[in-house]
Structure 1
């Protein structure tokens, strides 16, 4: 394989990623798929519709990843989520920060991109602050603090931290068989929990759950199969092309913010190249914008008060720090990571929910009338 082949494969992977995330952006705009919205609907008005969308998406992603893995298309042990080092403190602290921040900032990383496409200028500010803080947490002074404090507390496992690998060692059974059984069981259970309520059977709900889950699987396939080269002619080692981590990736929307700002600011530097994460950021924005324009739902929106501005700035900073520290956002850890059955991803889920709950209580406190009024 020569360098022209590598370039061609990279271009195919990037264009296909843009296409599927463009479609995803339109789907998320139409259906209002939003993790923060799902949690707030559940906690404030006991409406489980968007929680079921989320559960359906995770279930579809689990089944899809299980099938891709069992058929030999991808290897789930080669992701950042299944690392043998379980940084449980970083994941818990990071997910709490991210959950709190996404409520203050009116949405998680993916929702921010959808809102930008719909004309929300507040979300554009969130994008820039989140990306800046994420970059600082990846490579700046916050990275030094993170690495020397939270990341030092970890469990070094003898296997990758995905449940099939861990159970395989203890049960003496085939990892592939356990993945089929466990992934199939958990995935079907989540799908059933979403579909068991007939009131959930609306076009938008089904489109959201199936659409998000299938796109997560498609991006796993793109990065783990289409853009995977078993022997790079330059290094004679295996390589995952067009990923920032150098490993197989699916969708996540925190670190890609940082890489997108980096690419835009240093575009003339030939070492700054597009990745699946960067292209996915643009795909979601343009997909949402196209849908908003076609349906005439595009609306300019800006900050209303100084406190509104402060909430979004603080929320964006918390998401930037928390998302990098937790190794992903509510899409990254919450769906992409969980679809690999990674233990750390299951730890992040309650952190996101608890962080959102605390933020909602904080906002309720701020809006409560003064006793002296």
Structure 2
């Protein structure tokens, strides 16, 4: 890694890592149809079937691989933003609820919208742009005072107070073993649901992409004399940075997020092309456009408040056992289930 840093520099290497991780994530997520919204819709119907199996495979594989990498001294996440910086429990709760409701209204979370856009879905593309602009407003624009107020209602300092191992006195080996058991059970359940083996494998590859993001950025940070943030897959922040960079700046500073978003798009595009599923999909007469826009707004603000999207906060942050990430994903489930049930009410 030192030779690569000397030859290319940290920025271009982070860009390349983001692109590689993004390609794997995009192709695997498209083929497996990994989607938290679909899993919550299934559970809201009282079913525990194929979409739940796919989501559990992804989550448990990411958790197992990250914890195994830490046990093997291949990774140290103590300096990750999700653990080291001040977190917000109020942000995780309120933001999680808003994001969960929004992804139901928009029929997809931030990552799913990006992946569907790559296959020609203009509904997803439009909603994704609304989400990204709202996230930018929440981060640095007119919605930032509201976000900061809600964030400050209930904060938790960085360090042991944000790490589930320290809070509950858990053993990392035990966590890894439990994750492996859940992963095996989800594979068995998916097989019984007649999910294609390639889709089961692709769901695990989504988890692998998330763990690779952590390990590769950590490897670069460990070898660099510069301060390099270790990170992995998340979508709202990188999507916002990518869009704003291309709009406002003649030169885009290379980093992980700038490589990740195009990488995911390219991976999903190639998967859709290979499967013969590229086609333009528009808003139609029976498709309520305002519902998608409202969903994008709720997800954009909610993700910035919660510290990430369903992948960034839920899976990526959950894999390193960040307290706020687990709370955020719990309330995303609650918000999504409540919205699913309310939409079915006459």
Report if TM-score (shorter chain) is over 0.5: yes
- Contact 2:44–2:341 (CA under 8 A) maintained in structure 1: no
The residue that corresponds to 1:221 in the other structure is 215
Change (3 A) 1:143 1:38: same
Please state how far the C-alpha of 1:158 moved relative to its aligned partner: 6.5
CA distance in 2, matches of 1:185, 1:52: 18
The match for 1:335 among 315, 319, 326 is: 315
* Residue of structure 2 in register with 1:352 after alignment: 332
Show the counterpart of 1:236: none
Structure 1: segments with no counterpart, 5+ residues: 169-177, 233-238, 241-246, 369-373
Does 2:189 align with 1:189?
no
Shift, 1:319, TM fit: 0.5
Distance in 2 (CA, whole Å) between partners of 1:338 and 1:182 is: 16
Please state how far the C-alpha of 1:166 moved relative to its aligned partner.
Answer: 3.5
Counterparts of 2:94 and 2:261, CA distance in 1: 25
2:203 to 204, 209, 218: 209
Quick one: structure 1 residues 140 and 229, their matched pair in 2 at CA, closer, same or farther if it must change by over 3 Å?
farther
Q: Report whether the alignment pairs 1:273 with 2:273.
A: no
Q: Which residue of 2 aligns with 1:255?
A: 237
Specify the alignment match of 2:192 in structure 1: 199
Quick check: 1:295 aligned with 2:280? no
Q: What pairs with 1:102-141 in structure 2 (closer than 5 Å)?
A: 102-141=103-142
CA contact (8 A) 2:32 2:200 kept: no
Number of residue pairs matched by the alignment: 343
Q: Distance in 1 between matches of 2:285 and 2:151?
A: 35
Q: Is the 8 A contact 2:32 2:54 kept in 1?
A: no
Q: List, as ranges, runs of 4+ consecutive aligned residues in structure 1 with deviation greater than 4 Å.
A: 1-4, 227-230
Query: How much is the aligned-residue C-alpha RMSD, in angstroms?
Result: 2.4
Deviations 1:266-307, CA, capped at 9 Å, x for gaps: 231x4x413212321111111111222233211111112486
Q: Give, in whole Å, the separation in 1 of the partners of 2:5 and 2:197.
A: 44
Q: CA deviation at 1:7?
A: 4.1
How far has the Cα of 1:191 moved from its partner? 1.1
Summarize deviations over 1:121-157 as a string: whole Å, max 9, x none.
Answer: 1111112111111111111221122212332322347
Task: Select the structure that is richer in helix.
Answer: 2
Cα distance change, pair 120–249 in 1 and its aligned pair in 2 (3 A): same
Following the alignment from structure 2 to structure 1, what is the Cα–Cα distance between the partners of residues 324 and 218?
20
Counterpart CA distance in 1 for 2:325 and 2:281 is 34
Any gaps of 5 or more consecutive residues in structure 2? none
Question: How many angstroms apart in 2 are the aligned matches of 1:262 and 1:320?
Answer: 15
Does the CA-based 8 Å contact 2:14-2:254 persist in structure 1?
Answer: no
Q: Distance in 1 between matches of 2:303 and 2:210?
A: 18
CA separation in 1, counterparts of 2:224 and 2:166? 22
